[in-house]
Amino acid sequence: MFIFDISNPLTLLLMLAATVLLIFLAQEIKKSYITALPLFAYLILLVVHVAQMMTLPEEYRYLISALSRCLAIDFVFILITFFSYLWVDDIEAKKLGKKSIDNSLDWFWKKV
């Protein structure tokens, strides 16, 4: 059975580098939709990993630990990209003079 094992250190490092570069790009050009792309990708990856874990046949039960690590990493990346989306959205809103999607984290952005 094929699983996209993101708990592999090299894969994890490449995904982290790509995510950080996309966040930096979005922050530089002040477009929040760029940070939404990896957020949706990680959400899809989370759904795939959950579906694989739920439909795992008996002969592949040894993959449960790898899938559990992948799920934990998925949640971490979703958290990172969600907060970066809110941050870049706030930057974009200030640039355009609009109200951002969510102003409940203003106290946090002022400290960053």
Q: What is the pLDDT of residues 43-82, one digit of tens each?
A: 999 999 999 989 888 888 888 888 999 999 999 999 999 9
Q: Is the pLDDT of residue 102 over 70?
A: no
Domains of the chain: total: 1
Q: How confident is the model at residue 93 (pLDDT cuts 50, 70, 90)?
A: confident
The pLDDT value recorded for residue 109 is 62
Residue numbers of the domain that contains 63? 32-111
pTM of the model: 0.82
Structure tokens at 10: 């090299």
* Interval 10-28 mean pLDDT: 94
* 15 domain-assigned: no
Alpha-carbon distance values, 68 to 26, 65, 112 (Å): 31, 5, 32
The pLDDT value recorded for residue 15 is 93
* 2 domain-assigned: no
